Amino acid sequence: MGRHGAFSASLEAEREAREELLALRGAVAGYQESTSRKDLLDEAGFIVDEKNPLIYVPEGEEKKNGIEHVVVYKKVAIRKRPCSDSHVLGACEQGQSLQLFEADETGNWRKLHFRLRGGYGSLVEAWVMLRHPSLGMLLRPANEKAEMSEPEPRPQAQEPAAVLEDHTAHVAALAAEFGERLVLAAVEEVEPSVALRSEPFEVVRKPMVAVRSQPSTEGLIVVSVEFGRRVDTFGLDSSGVWRRVFCKCTQTAKQEAPLPDAPLEAWIMEEHPSLGQLLRPLDQ
């Protein structure tokens, strides 16, 4: 009987330890009592993705036979997967040395071991891009002479038509490359002539409403605005469905990322055909 009681106590302790781990990895606000995986954030701060989980590296088992590379661009994103739309886990800066391992199938991404800043600060597998299609070389092997590396490319005078058609989406993607993001701009941050037409609204749809790069559901989602938040809008599109807003780039390292200071045009839907009202005028 005594041994059974000890076993039960051990199981209870293991359950409590697991719940503590889940809590440290970030239960979504307002749902801390739920243990459903869809209500949890992983240790990197993103919603748990069962199809693409974080790949942990056991302490003491990290690889030692990597090829040393040096960061030659101002700031380079470290991502969860070898693709440009994957979650950004962190960033490395010019002059920093990294031990890189095997390449992906394209040969343009290399794996590294990265220590997360959140949770327990675990070591995980991550990926970094060696050469960007428009920015040029981002990292070079340490044994390659610096003077042999390519010079930093100058901004192109004319961008591809697809980029010009969706400038906000382009900037949002570029910001992500440097660990930055877009946020809504307040009325005092836009041009005075535009600010005169401002109309404040409140988000009335839970839990949040998407802000898109184009006045269409096909536009890229560049910002999500939480329920109850104020949104300064600046007129309607031709359909009368989408309200114009402005976004700006966060720049924690302003001199290290070529991100624009000027506000960027974006769009938010006032009323959805099936979800109903998303925004409500603040004067109502």
- State the residue range of the domain holding 112: 67-148
**Is the domain of 178 the same as that of 138?**
no
Q: Are residues 192 and 248 in the same domain?
A: yes
Q: How confident is the model at residue 62 (pLDDT cuts 50, 70, 90)?
A: confident
Judge whether residue 207 has pLDDT over 50.
yes
pLDDT higher than 70, residue 140: yes
Query: Which tokens in the block code for residue 205?
Result: 């749809």
187-204: per-residue pLDDT in tens?
898 888 888 889 999 999
> Within this chain, do residues 73 and 140 fall inside the same structural domain, yes or no?
yes
| Same domain flag for 190 and 276 | yes
Tokens linked to 84: 């440009």
Helix (H, G, I), strand (E, B) or coil at 98: strand
Mean pLDDT of 31-53: 64
Name the amino acid, one letter, at 87: H
* 78 in the same domain as 120: yes
**Considering its fold, how many domains does the chain have in total?**
3
- Answer yes or no: do 28 and 95 share one domain: no
In terms of pLDDT, which residue wins out, 135 or 271? 271
More confident residue, 170 or 130: 130
pLDDT at 157 over 50: no
User: Are residues 38 and 207 in contact, defined by beta-carbon separation less than 8 angstroms?
Assistant: no
Tens of pLDDT, residues 64-87: 788 999 999 988 999 999 988 888
CATH of the domain at 102: 2.30.30
**pLDDT of 10 higher than 80:** no
Q: What pLDDT band is residue 253 in, cutting at 50, 70 and 90? A: low
User: Can you give the three-state secondary structure of 195-211, one letter per residue?
Assistant: HCCCEEEEECCCCEEEE
